[in-house]
């Protein structure tokens, strides 16, 4: 069973990928075999003054995903996701969650080697 998480502006496959990771509205967690989904709300990270990316990384790590698809990831979040063994696919803003997942399934998402946003 392979699970991936996608930052999302809403709870469905047809919502748009939220470009932000740490302050994403939530995460759509997709089982790639069955395409079953579950939604994790990220409100508790959004309200943090600092450390939203680290907390968001804790949330997706707890969901047991092996990969995260999103728009931008900062350096602290990237470090945390790497520590959790989660691969990161970036620059997917503008797509729907479904399109991002399809792109991943057809091996068109490059796995990032580093953060693509400066830290704050």
Helix segments in 1-120, DSSP class H:
43-46, 52-62, 75-83, 97-105
48 binds another protein (CB under 8 A): yes
- Do the strands 37-41 and 26-31 form a parallel or antiparallel pair, or are they unpaired? antiparallel
Return the exposure string of 80-99: e unless at least 16 CB atoms fall within 10 Å of the residue's CB, then b. bbbeeebbbbbbbeebbbbb
**To the nearest whole angstrom, how small is the minimum distance from the Cβ of residue 107 to another protein?**
26
85 binds another protein (CB under 8 A): yes
Binding-site member from 19, 20, 29, 76 for another protein (CB under 8 A): 76
Residue with smaller CB distance to another protein, 7 or 96: 7
Residue with smaller CB distance to another protein, 45 or 96: 45
Residue with tokens 């520590």: 83
* Residue ranges in contact with another protein by CB under 8 A: 48, 50-51, 54-55, 57-58, 61, 76, 79-80, 83-85
């Amino acid at each position: 069973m392979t699970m991936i998480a996608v930052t999302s502006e809403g709870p469905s496959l047809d919502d748009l990928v939220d470009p932000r990771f740490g302050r994403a509205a939530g995460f759509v967690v997709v089982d790639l075999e069955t395409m079953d989904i579950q939604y994790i709300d990220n409100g508790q990270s959004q309200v943090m003054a600092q450390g939203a990316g680290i907390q968001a990384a804790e949330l997706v790590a707890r969901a047991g995903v092996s990969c995260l698809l999103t728009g931008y990831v900062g350096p602290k979040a990237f470090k945390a996701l790497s520590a959790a063994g989660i691969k990161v696919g970036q620059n997917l803003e503008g797509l729907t969650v479904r399109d991002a997942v399809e792109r991943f399934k057809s091996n068109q998402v490059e796995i990032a080697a580093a953060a693509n946003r400066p830290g704050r």
